[in-house]
Amino acid sequence: MSEAPKKLYIKTYGCQMNVYDSERMAEAMGGQGYEQVDSPEGADMILLNTCHIREKAAEKVYSELGRYKGLKAANPDLKIGVAGCVAQAEGAEIMRRQPLVDLVVGPQSYHRLPELERQTRGGGKAMDTDFPEEMKFDHLPSRPKPRRGPTAFLTVQEGCDKFCAFCVVPYTRGAEVSRPVSRILREAEGLVEQGVREITLLGQNVNAYHGEEAGHSWGLARLIRRLAEVDGLERIRFTTSHPNDMEDDLIAAHGDCAKLMPYLHLPVQSGSDRILKRMNRSHTAEHYLRLVERIREARPDILMSGDFIVGFPEETEADFQATLDLVEEVTYGQCYSFKYSARPGTPAAERPLVDPDEADDRLRRLQDLLTRQQRSVQDAMVGREVGVLFEKAGRLDGQMVGKSDHLHAVHVACDLPVGTLARVRIVESGPNSLAGVLI
């Protein structure tokens, strides 16, 4: 008789790459007799896959760990692990601050998770925060999890060499590494066999992808064109891109590759050249605006998305105004905006902060503008014909929900199966989603 599976609970914070990594960790532990569960109660192992990008994100981890005291008291065999970017940034300090933690594993060492888990069995602690040469998931025997829906993430590139002055990612994820083309293709084909119709290629700097294929280096555009040949794969997206790596053939692909969706997340962070320079972004506002213009020439209906930081050290009202001006000029369909958070170890951490009330006020003003733009871009979809990939049943009976080509949530009265890609005419724009009818 085989043993009953042990229960693994994973809680994921941060970016899409963490979502992808959590799935891979579940698969790796699946090979060790662990089955993923939806709640920490009764689990044999709890893994927090953490994010270090802003102070608030990092501090959440400790409050969450505190909640597991009772569980650990009730079950001394419960293993608690911290993975992700806090694990990489804080290492052994995590176990000192919270002795409940048995295991710390950095984002590049997940292939060692089964071994680390074994080390903790006798009551010991285990830690690995190295940056090994090999890509973590490329040499790992694991048990693939059944897919839940028609969309999936696929990491193609990891790490960052850009060193923006505010950002922890180059330290937590290490230097830029690209996975070989053949691995990505195999993974994509496997996903499609399991019913996946849309793949989002992930990388901290995904458009800096330069993967090896038969002695040649392929850029992201070439990879996308090759993936577009995979039968059954209907849609391709990628995130997150850096303006400086937006090469001509990638821009062209937005115009001539039908499976590449008309949505681009291209963070600019600020509209002020003075601040961009202090951020070490190595592009100007003008360079970014020209780029957006060229992308829109290739694909006129592309929906632009971005990230902004307000209250970066030394940001004046005039600098902030330049950010508002840039937003006005671009017209974004969707954005993320953040108040600057000083991160230990980054160059900007030493610089004097903007008055916090002033920064709050700027964030509010920027978000007001971005929300207005988002709403008007969404409203402008009414009357248009778009593709919708159905992901699940809607809240109302007889209704399905899916994402449009432009990544808007769309409700449609129909009973088409999950995974169907249908043509839909948009008839209404609500606060957070669109409504459409089948064509």
Report the residue number whose CB is nearest to ligand SAH.
Answer: 307
Site for ligand F3S in 156-185 (CB under 6 A): 168-169, 172-173
Question: Using CB under 6 A, which of 7, 8, 9, 15 touches ligand F3S?
Answer: 15
Between 162 and 384, name the residue whose CB sits nearer to ligand SF4: 162
Which of ligand SF4, ligand F3S, ligand SAH, none lies near 34, with the C-beta cut-off 5 to 8 A by kind?
Answer: none
Instruction: Check binding of 204 to ligand SF4 (CB under 6 A).
Output: yes
> Edge-to-edge strand order for the sheet containing 151-155?
151-155, 198-202, 235-239
Which of ligand F3S, ligand SF4, ligand SAH, none lies near 52, with the C-beta cut-off 5 to 8 A by kind?
Answer: ligand F3S
Instruction: Check binding of 275 to ligand SF4 (CB under 6 A).
Output: no
What DSSP letter does each residue of 304-318 carry, written as one string?
A: EEEEEEES-TT--HH
User: For residue 307, what are the β-bridge partners?
Assistant: 336
Which of ligand F3S, ligand SF4, ligand SAH, none lies near 7, with the C-beta cut-off 5 to 8 A by kind?
Answer: none
CB of residue 92 to ligand F3S, shortest distance in Å? 19
Specify the amino acid at residue 368.
Answer: D
What residues line the site for ligand SAH (CB under 6 A)?
53-54, 166-167, 169, 204-205, 240, 242, 267, 269, 307, 309, 338, 340-341, 343
Query: Cα-Cα-Cα-Cα dihedral of 417, 418, 420, 424, to 10°?
Result: 90
Between 40 and 174, name the residue whose CB sits nearer to ligand F3S: 174
Report the residue number whose CB is nearest to ligand F3S.
Answer: 14
Site for ligand SF4 in 208-247 (CB under 6 A): 242
* HEC assignment per residue over 106-148: CCCCHHHHHHHHHHHCCCCCEEECCCCCCCCCCCCCCCCCCCC
Contact 223, 209 (CB under 8 A): yes
H/E stretch holding 403 = strand 399-404
Which of ligand SF4, ligand SAH, ligand F3S, none lies near 338, with the C-beta cut-off 5 to 8 A by kind?
Answer: ligand SAH
d(CA 393, CA 391): 7
Q: At what angle do helices 16-30 and 113-120 cross, to 10 degrees?
A: 60
Instruction: Check binding of 140 to ligand F3S (CB under 6 A).
Output: no
Of 178, 176, 172, 229, nearest to 201 by C-alpha is 178
Which of ligand SAH, ligand SF4, ligand F3S, none lies near 340, with the C-beta cut-off 5 to 8 A by kind?
Answer: ligand SAH
Site for ligand SF4 in 167-196 (CB under 6 A): 167, 169-170
User: 426 is written with which tokens?
Assistant: 């948009």
* Angle at 404 (CA atoms; ends 398, 409), nearest 5 degrees: 60
CB of residue 201 to ligand SAH, shortest distance in Å? 14
| CB atoms inside a 10 Å sphere around CB 376 | 12
d(CA 233, CA 194): 11
Residues forming contacts to ligand SF4 in the complex (CB under 6 A) are 160, 162-164, 167, 169-170, 204-205, 242
Residues forming contacts to ligand F3S in the complex (CB under 6 A) are 14-15, 17-18, 51-53, 84-85, 168-169, 172-173, 204
